């Protein structure tokens, strides 16, 4: 029998949403940083890649701006974040998390400023003081991209941190397995980041000469890796102790709809199926020659990326809701 005080009751759905937003923020920044680099490598798609880079930074800032307060509110002392520099117990994942969140927010915000505003800004907005700050602070492209590379590393840490925060309790919560949860969150976070960032490029600029197809194929590869890691996690549960087996049973019974329907079907299988159909259509037909086909393809990719994001949210809710813990005392 599991402990009556379940982790899901203590952490709640709000933490599942924070885990989702943290992974989304980190994955979006990494995608934007890659697109920023690719804008140098492929001049024919430069504007499309730069649009993706801008969306990556904006989504990163917005996601962490919403998700950070959710975590801090759960901790009970949200105002303590203003004294984050006093947090020096780096043996605590909470301390590490506060520093990662603050550093990530600063890097994403400044990259969004440099890419989106000022004389060379791509948002097309005229905001006076903000434009002047962007122009005055913007370094050379070489320096900016070097800073962006640092931000991408911080983004990866942010994604994995959300899993390490949970896996610290893996000895009593089998679902939060220390071996498989970090790579699962990493794959899912990168997949969500591609979906959100490239999805916005798809909606605003279409699919031709924007690199959408290339990013979608990369997402397909990541989804396949995610499926392998998820299978490994389930196998660990099946071959584990009584609580691990009970967790796996929960996924097959009470949690079947959110897991098999939300995570597996919507988040993994449907995106792969849609991607296969879209790739076949692009291989057979010239999108430049048919506006109708371009619109259908744009709608298809938008749907695919939407499914990936929904699946990422469902995964994190499952991780919380299926967190049955080993009893600390005899029952």
Q: Which residue has the higher pLDDT, 71 or 200?
A: 200
Q: What pLDDT score does 201 carry?
A: 95
pLDDT by residue (tens digit) across 29-55? Answer: 999 999 999 988 888 888 899 999 999
Q: Which residue has the higher pLDDT, 85 or 293?
A: 293
Contact 23, 157 (CB under 8 A): no
Q: Residue 2 pLDDT more than 50?
A: no
**Sole residue written with tokens 């913007």:** 138
pLDDT by residue (tens digit) across 210-228? Answer: 899 999 999 999 999 999 9
Average pLDDT of the chain is: 85
Q: Which residue has the higher pLDDT, 86 or 322?
A: 322
Q: What pLDDT score does 1 carry?
A: 42
pLDDT by residue (tens digit) across 170-193? Answer: 778 888 888 999 999 999 999 999
Q: Residue 92 pLDDT more than 70?
A: no
CA nearest neighbour of 11 among 328, 318, 326 = 318
Q: What pLDDT score does 329 carry?
A: 45
Band of pLDDT at residue 197, cut at 50, 70 and 90: very high
Q: Residue 89 pLDDT more than 60?
A: no
**Sole residue written with tokens 């117990």:** 89
Q: How many helices (H) and strands (E) does the chain have?
A: 11, 0
Q: Residue 244 pLDDT more than 90?
A: no
Band of pLDDT at residue 140, cut at 50, 70 and 90: confident
**Cα 234 to Cα 247: distance, rounded to the nearest angstrom:** 9
Domains and CATH numbers, the chain: 7-321 (1.20.1630.10)
Q: What pLDDT score does 245 carry?
A: 83
What number is the average pLDDT over the span 103-124? 84
Q: What pLDDT score does 208 carry?
A: 85
Band of pLDDT at residue 275, cut at 50, 70 and 90: very high
Contact 98, 84 (CB under 8 A): yes
**Cα 235 to Cα 117: distance, rounded to the nearest angstrom:** 49
Residue 208, helix vs strand vs coil: coil
């Amino acid at each position: 029998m599991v402990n009556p005080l379940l982790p899901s009751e203590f952490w709640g759905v709000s933490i599942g949403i924070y885990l989702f937003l943290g992974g989304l923020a980190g994955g979006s920044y990494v995608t934007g940083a890659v697109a920023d680099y690719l804008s140098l490598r492929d001049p024919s798609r430069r504007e499309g890649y730069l649009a993706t880079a801008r969306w990556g930074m904006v989504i990163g800032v917005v996601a962490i701006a919403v998700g950070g307060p959710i975590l801090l509110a759960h901790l009970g002392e949200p105002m303590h974040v203003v004294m984050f520099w006093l947090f020096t117990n780096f043996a605590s994942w909470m301390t590490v998390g506060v520093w990662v969140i603050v550093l990530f927010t600063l890097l994403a915000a400044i990259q969004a400023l440099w890419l989106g505003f000022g004389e060379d800004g791509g948002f097309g907005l005229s905001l006076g003081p903000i434009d002047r700050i962007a122009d005055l602070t913007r370094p050379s492209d070489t320096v900016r991209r070097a800073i962006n590379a640092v931000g991408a590393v911080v983004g990866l840490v942010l994604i994995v941190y959300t899993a390490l925060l949970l896996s610290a309790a893996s000895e009593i919560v089998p679902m939060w397995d220390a071996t498989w949860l970090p790579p699962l969150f990493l794959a899912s976070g990168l997949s969500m980041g591609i979906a959100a960032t490239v999805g916005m490029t798809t909606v605003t600029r279409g699919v031709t000469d924007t690199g959408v197809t290339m990013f979608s194929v990369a997402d397909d590869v990541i989804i396949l890796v995610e499926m392998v890691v998820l299978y490994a996690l389930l196998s660990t549960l099946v071959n584990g102790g009584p609580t691990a087996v009970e967790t796996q049973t929960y996924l097959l019974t009470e949690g079947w709809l959110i897991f098999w329907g939300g995570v597996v079907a919507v988040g993994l299988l449907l995106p792969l199926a849609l991607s296969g159909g879209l790739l076949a259509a692009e291989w057979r037909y010239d999108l430049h020659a048919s506006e109708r086909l371009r619109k259908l393809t744009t709608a298809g990719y938008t749907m695919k990326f939407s499914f990936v994001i929904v699946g990422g949210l469902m995964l994190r809710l499952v991780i919380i809701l299926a967190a049955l813990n080993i009893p600390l005392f005899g029952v």
